[in-house]
Amino acid sequence: MLAKVEYNNKVYKIDLSKPLDISIPLRGEASNVNAWYLDHPKIEPHQEGGSVAKVSEGAAINFNDIWFNPHAHGTHTECVGHITEEFHSVNTHLNRYFFAAELLTIAPEKQGNDFVISKKQLEYVLGQGRRDAIVIRTLPNTKAKLSRQYSHTNPPYILEEAAKFLFEIGVQHLLIDLPSVDKEKDNGELLAHKAFWNFNGALRKSATITELIFVPNHIQDGKYFLNLQVAPFVNDASPSRPVLFEVEEV
């Protein structure tokens, strides 16, 4: 199924029958990706009055209860409500779902005891051109990211100046394959979150950050159209399924 879209006065062709899913599935297992010191998610048959809602246990249906945290247990998209006293729901503020995107691969730089993504790295790759969304794949990139246990590991993160740069060039949607754009233990400073959402100015309520994606190595860097859909949770963050589509200029 082919579609044509116009962006920056150019027309692109996309094949909607060839989606590139960059989300991490959520599994009720200890091997599920995990962060922020929580137990693993659980997907279990509902039990009531001694009965188990599972067909193999004699029930007519499978009827599972699910326990998880969107920030810790898989691909999720969050809005500025993640860091504000006032409640903001990503389900309300994300009301468009297709965006011009660019996928870039970055090897975080060593800085002291940390590995970071710097403004210089982003400037080198992006220049000053306009994009709605940026998708960052970090190196090394292996399937271990699908089950990594991130707690107490000090994963790479984005420097404040780099997040501010993305804000300044108009990026509305930032996607990354890490558990956070900020340092794991930063005493609650959340510098990259705040810079990207312009926390000390006019809040960018429609801007989103998507974390814990996984971009397989066979997907090449470059321009794409992004379909960013979230489960309709009334919450600052929700499980999401970002999907890329290759584009061809007409």
Query: pLDDT tier at 128 (50, 70, 90 boundaries)?
Result: low
Query: pLDDT tier at 130 (50, 70, 90 boundaries)?
Result: confident
pLDDT of residue 22: 98
pLDDT of residue 6: 80
- 182 pLDDT above the threshold of 80: yes
Average pLDDT, the chain: 96
Query: pLDDT tier at 131 (50, 70, 90 boundaries)?
Result: confident
Whether 139 and 106 have beta carbons less than 8 Å apart is answered as yes
Pick the CATH number of 2-28+70-249 from 3.50.50.60, 3.40.50.300, 1.10.10.10, 3.50.30.50: 3.50.30.50
- 135 pLDDT above the threshold of 90: yes
pTM: 0.96
pLDDT of residue 129: 67
pLDDT of residue 250: 81
Handedness of CA 107, 196, 34, 28 (dihedral sign): negative
